[in-house]
Amino acid sequence: MNTGPIKAQVSQELEKAKKFARQLDSDEVKSRQWFITLLKRVVEVYNRNARAEYFQQKYPGGQLIAVGFAFCPHCGAEQPTTTTEA
């Protein structure tokens, strides 16, 4: 199993996190404003990536339909059933 691309992506994300942490000043940390700043960045990335164009590029050639079925409980895909014992 070639884990090189995954390791590279993890390293890149870790560097981004370190850069974010270095940009914080002591007042942001003391006032807990850093969390609001982090949350804002998370929402911005989600807003950028949660669009059809993003998924069409990430899953070209009709793979997007399979991804949709995998995440949609009402799309006819087989879902595991759970049972409860009394």
Residue 45 lies in a domain: yes
Residue 52 lies in a domain: yes
Q: Where are the alpha helices (DSSP H) in 1-81?
A: 4-23, 26-31, 33-49, 52-58, 63-71
Q: How many domains does the chain have?
A: 1
- Per-residue pLDDT of 44-67, as tens digits, reads 988 887 777 777 777 777 665 666
**Is the whole-model pTM more than 0.85?**
no
Residue 39 lies in a domain: yes
- Per-residue pLDDT of 29-43, as tens digits, reads 889 888 998 899 889
Instruction: Identify the residue whose tokens are 């000043």.
Output: 25
Residue 76 lies in a domain: no
Q: Which domain holds residue 8?
A: 4-71
Residue 67 lies in a domain: yes
